[in-house]
Amino acid sequence: MTLGKFWSAAYKSRLKMSIFCHGLLAVVLLAKVSEDILDRLDIFILSLQELYVPKPLLWEWCWLMSIPVAGVGLSALRKNNAASMKIYVSGTFMFGIVPVLAAAFLYFSEMSEYIQTKSNVTFWQGYPIAVLWYIFIVLAVQIHVFSLYFAIRLILAWQKVVTVRKAK
């Protein structure tokens, strides 16, 4: 195995793990928005309604659009397809990073207020909502940044192979 193939395999494995972690975060957010989805379908589950889960905001729906984008990334991995991987990179930035940064901006004042006073903030089940969202935001940013790094490295490696093949 050449050094280039070694790094390509390593980045593919790491990107798969990042996409898996993205999937775990997606399950968490889908659990959060499930009450709203069921409500829109006129399906009422009393135990879910008694949790008083806050209604989803626009950034949450936008972030959920990153789930199909992850599927594009997995498909690109199987085929070593740089063009599909570029779609994954742009989609991850657009639907993964941008909504999460918007959420960080949205909850910044409430998080700052909680850090300073430990009061005057919105709580859910005894936990400050801003803190819960910042946990999600930090995890999502890390996962997406690593995913973007690994995907870009793979694109560069795959393009280098195509260039070498064309030169021969």
At 80 the three-state DSSP class reads: coil
pLDDT, position 119: 77
pLDDT band of 37, cuts 50, 70, 90: confident
pTM attached to this predicted model: 0.86
Average pLDDT, the chain: 88
pLDDT digits (tens, 9 = 90+) for 109-139: 888 888 888 877 888 888 898 899 999 999 9
Above 80 in pLDDT, residue 2? Answer: no
Instruction: Tell me the C-alpha distance between 4 and 125, whole Å.
Output: 50
Above 80 in pLDDT, residue 157? Answer: yes
Mean pLDDT computed over 8-21: 94
Looking at residue 79, its amino acid is: K
Above 90 in pLDDT, residue 165? Answer: no
Long-range contacts of 25-34 (CB under 8 A, 24+ apart): 25/136, 25/139, 25/140, 25/143, 26/64, 26/66, 26/67, 26/70, 28/136, 29/60, 29/63, 29/64, 29/136, 30/64, 32/56, 32/60, 33/60, 33/61, 33/64
